[in-house]
């Protein structure tokens, strides 16, 4: 039961972490600790978050012996992601981790251009469409 809960929780975390890694323009396969997998970098970054709330809460759900533990874990992850605003934390954490080697963050290429149709100002919070 505990393994099922942990697997469900880390799967949720990997999904949101992969979305952030791709949105920031990083390659999900180029990891530092995890290597040789298509999502190695995602696993590296997710490891920075999963032991704070995700894994302990997964164990609590496993201890309660729900009939659908994976569902309870997914709902728990959703709530934690919203409350802690994990998505907003991931990209700055990536940049902080990459800056640990004291290398400057690369500047945008001169050839890069802004989007042709910029996103309008949202009236909702993160995760809601306007």
Give the range of the structural domain holding residue 23, as residue numbers without chain letter: 2-101
The enclosing domain of 93 has a CATH number of: 1.20.120.920
pTM: 0.75
Is 106 contained in some domain?
no
Is 88 contained in some domain?
yes
User: What's residue 100's pLDDT?
Assistant: 80
What's the average model confidence in pLDDT over 38-49? 94
Tokens for 44, please give them: 């590296």
Sequence-separated (6 or more) residues with CB below 8 Å from residue 27: 41
What's the average model confidence in pLDDT over 10-29? 93
Q: How many domains does the chain have?
A: 1
User: What's residue 74's pLDDT?
Assistant: 94
Alpha carbon distance, N-terminus to C-terminus of the chain: 40
Closest-CA residue to 78 (of 28, 4, 15): 15
User: What's residue 110's pLDDT?
Assistant: 82
């Amino acid at each position: 039961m505990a393994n099922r809960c942990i697997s469900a929780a880390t799967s949720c975390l990997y999904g949101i972490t992969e979305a952030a890694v791709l949105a920031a323009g990083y390659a999900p396969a180029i990891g530092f600790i995890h290597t040789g997998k298509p999502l190695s970098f995602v696993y590296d970054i997710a490891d920075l978050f999963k032991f704070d709330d995700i894994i302990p809460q997964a164990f609590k759900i496993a201890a309660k012996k729900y009939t659908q533990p994976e569902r309870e874990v997914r709902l728990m992850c959703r709530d934690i992601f919203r409350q802690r605003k994990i998505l907003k934390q991931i990209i700055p954490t990536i940049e902080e981790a990459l800056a640990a080697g004291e290398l400057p963050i690369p500047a945008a290429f001169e050839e890069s251009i802004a989007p042709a149709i910029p996103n309008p100002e949202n009236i909702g919070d993160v995760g809601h469409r306007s």
